[in-house]
Amino acid sequence: MVVPYPRRLPPWDTSAREVRAALTGLDQTFVETLVRKTAFLIENAEVRWRLGQAAREQIERGKFSLERKNRCLKVIFDEAADHR
């Protein structure tokens, strides 16, 4: 289950005070859910391993693979070249 982040952090070139203000405004439910899910992964090595394997599969062969990105870029560049 994905936990939606309740608000956007400021850009990294902001002051420490602005970052601290953004972090203190986090929803308590979000923080509790994040802690619970992180603790679950820490305590369950098998689940952590399977999650890592699934992520690796997505990078190597799935949604985030180089082949897929290259196909998308080829379409973009071919369309740009055709419109010259």
Query: Cα–Cα–Cα angle for 17, 23, 25, nearest 5°?
Result: 105
Band (pLDDT 50/70/90 cuts) for residue 12 is: low
Domains: count for the chain: 1
Whether residue 62 lies inside any domain: the answer is yes
The two structure tokens encoding residue 58: 């997505």
Q: Averaged over 55-78, what is the pLDDT?
A: 91
Q: Averaged over 65-76, what is the pLDDT?
A: 92
Whether residue 74 lies inside any domain: the answer is yes
Answer yes or no: are the C-beta atoms of 32 and 3 closer than 8 Å.
Answer: no
Whether residue 1 lies inside any domain: the answer is no
Start-to-end CA span in the chain (Å): 45
Dihedral sign computed on CA atoms, order 7, 13, 18, 21: positive
Cα within 13 Å of Cα(43), Cβ side:
6
Domain extent, residue 32, equals: 16-82
